[in-house]
Amino acid sequence: MFASVVIPTYNRRSILEKCLLALEQQILFSELDGYEVVVVDDGSTDGTPGWLRDEASRFPHVRVVEQEHGGPAEGRNRGVDNSRGDLIVFIDSDLVVTESFLACHARALQKSWQQRGDRLSFTYGAVINTANFEQPTTEPHKFQDNSWAYFATGNVAIDREVLERSGLFDTNFRLYGWEDLELGERLRQMGVELVKCPEAVGYHWHPALRLEQVPDLIRVERERAKMGLIFYRKHPTRRVRFIIQFTWLHRLLWELLTLGGLLNERSLRPLLGWLIHNGHQGLAMELLRLPLNRIGVRALFKEAALTGLR
């Protein structure tokens, strides 16, 4: 197999450097003949494309593709179109992987394909969340790192022909959220099996919570609501309703947990500030998820009402 690692990126130059350096350290075993890294710059304004060209000697496996800002779905499709591999690996540009990352994906896939007698399976690696920018790979695995998503592009590998047969990513998902899980629904309908591959480890870096981030987090929840309805229109099933939280059960749950909105980003601000000041950013983020979920679900129902969707 020859692997193409497809990475869309937008204004993440600092962590992208760590991501690419880790990919240059891959140790290949017999399952892999070689690999390339296709970085699709989604109209970054931080000088990422020029920096990558200037630093080309440090990243011999990297090829750069540029596009106007169109979102990760368009970026991933463009990356696949510009790749050479028969194995496509998707990661995010803020993921730092271990040196056996690609080999573990390839070994697990080859074993699955031999057992099945076809290539209708994909591997899903482990994603460990960390706020440690200097040494992201020192973060231990935590319960919160477990994911029940079917196809999440933070760390997956799939046969190119199977991916292309699915139709790739829907570029109507131009804002944040759901484009990968929507593709996952189509893969499920094709009978493509998820194979867990915890040995293929990636450390997902994100900055520790600051109060200044809260407005941006609220914006993301509202974008997710808009994209969630695109997801549901394509797959109007009970399963998708639960995935995007488009149920009265979810609406009731987040109303109860926030005491009808009394616990919100404003009322929680002093407590969040105290937790952050005392080094408990993770706990602060978990607490903030309560009003964020309420905001997201309310936005989802409001958007649905405006478009006549029930």
Crossing angle between the packed helical segments 248-257 and 281-306, to the nearest 10 degrees: 140
The residues, ordered by sequence, that sit 6+ positions from 125 with a Cβ below 8 Å of its Cβ are 101, 104, 105, 155, 156, 157, 197, 198, 199, 200, 201, 202
Task: State the Rg of the chain over Cα.
Answer: 20
| pLDDT given for residue 221 in this prediction | 97
User: What mean pLDDT comes out for the span 113-128?
Assistant: 96
Q: Are 228 and 179 in contact (CB under 8 A)?
A: no
pLDDT digits (tens, 9 = 90+) for 213-229: 999 999 999 999 999 99
Q: Is the pLDDT of residue 230 over 90?
A: yes
Crossing angle between the packed helical segments 214-234 and 179-189, to the nearest 10 degrees: 30
Tokens 């950013």, located at residue: 281
Residue 299 tokens read as 């936005």
- pTM, 2 dp: 0.93
Q: Per this entry, what is the length of the chain?
A: 310
| pLDDT given for residue 310 in this prediction | 76
